[in-house]
Structure 1
Amino acid sequence: MNSILNDHQPIFHQIGKWIGDQIIDGTFEPHDRIPSTNEIVCLYKVNHLTVAKGVNELVEEGLLYKKRGVGVFVTAEAKRILLDRRRADFTVQYMEPMLEEARKLGFDAREIGWMMEKMGGMASIE
Structure 2
Amino acid sequence: MFDEHSPIYRQIADAIRADVLSGALREDEQIMSTNQYAAHYRINPATAAKAFQDLVDEGVLYKRRGLGMFVHPRAREKLRDQHRARFFSDVVDPMVTEARAIGVSLDDVIARVAELRDGGEHR
TM class by shorter chain equals 0.7 to 0.9
Summarize the Cα distance change of 1:14–1:95 in structure 2 as closer, same or farther, 3 Å threshold. farther
The alpha-carbon deviation at position 68 of structure 1 amounts to 3.5
The match for 1:78 is: 75
Q: Deviations over 1:96-126 (max 9, x none)?
A: 12222222222111221233244x3387xxx
Q: Deviations over 1:15-37 (max 9, x none)?
A: 22221221122111111011233
Summarize the Cα distance change of 1:122–1:20 in structure 2 as closer, same or farther, 3 Å threshold. farther
- TM-score after normalising by structure 2: 0.75
The match for 1:121 is: 117
Q: Gaps (5+ residues) in structure 1? A: none
The match for 1:87 is: 84
Match 1:105 to one of 89, 102, 106? 102
Match 2:58 to one of 51, 56, 61? 61
- TM-score after normalising by structure 1: 0.73
Q: What's the RMSD between the two structures over aligned residues? A: 2.6
The alpha-carbon deviation at position 56 of structure 1 amounts to 0.5
Q: Gaps (5+ residues) in structure 2? A: none
Identity %: 33
Summarize the Cα distance change of 1:33–1:114 in structure 2 as closer, same or farther, 3 Å threshold. same
Find the structure with the greater CA-based Rg: 2
Summarize the Cα distance change of 1:21–1:101 in structure 2 as closer, same or farther, 3 Å threshold. same
Runs of 4+ in structure 1 over 3 Å off: 38-48
- Decide which moves more: 93-102 or 35-44: 35-44
Aligned residues: 119
